[in-house]
C-alpha cells in the first residue's frame, strides 16, 4: 500500500466524520427559535434521565430488595438537590449517587 492511498483514505474519513458531526448543528440553527425545539430542550434531558433512573432503579431493586429504602432516600435527595440547587444535573445526580452508595454500605445496626 502506498502512502498516498493511506492519506486519501484518512482524508475521506476526516471529511465524512466532520460532515456528520456538523450536519445537526447546521440543521438546528434555523430551528432555534421554534417553540417545539425550545420545549424539547427543556423536557428531553429530564425525560431521558427519568427513564434511565427508572430502569436502573428497577434492575437494582429486583436484584437486592434490601436496597429499596436507600434507593428511595437517594431519589428524594436527587430531586431535592435538583430543585434546590438551581437545576444542576451533575450536582443532583452526584449527590443522589453518593447518598445511595453511602446508605448501601452503612453497617446495619
What's the pLDDT tens digit per position in 22-60? Answer: 988 888 777 878 888 888 878 887 788 788 888 888 888
What's the pLDDT tens digit per position in 79-95? Answer: 899 899 887 888 988 99
Grade residue 18 by pLDDT with cuts at 50, 70 and 90: very high
Residue 108: how many CA atoms within 13 Å on its side-chain side? 5
Q: Which has the closest alpha carbon to 103: 72, 62, 82, 57?
A: 72
What's the pLDDT tens digit per position in 39-48? Answer: 887 888 778 8
Region at 56 (left for phi over 0; alpha for psi -120 to 50; beta for the rest): alpha
Amino acid at each position: 500500500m502506498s502512502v498516498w492511498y493511506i492519506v486519501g483514505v484518512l482524508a475521506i474519513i476526516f471529511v465524512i466524520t466532520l460532515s456528520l458531526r456538523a450536519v445537526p448543528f447546521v440543521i438546528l440553527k434555523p430551528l432555534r427559535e421554534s417553540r417545539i425545539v425550545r420545549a424539547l430542550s427543556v423536557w428531553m434531558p429530564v425525560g431521558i434521565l427519568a427513564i434511565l433512573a427508572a430502569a436502573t432503579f428497577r434492575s437494582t431493586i429486583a436484584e437486592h430488595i434490601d436496597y429499596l429504602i436507600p434507593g428511595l432516600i437517594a431519589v428524594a435527595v436527587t430531586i431535592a438537590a435538583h430543585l434546590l440547587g438551581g437545576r444542576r444535573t451533575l450536582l443532583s445526580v452526584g449527590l443522589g449517587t453518593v447518598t445511595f452508595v453511602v446508605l448501601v454500605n452503612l453497617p446495619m445496626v
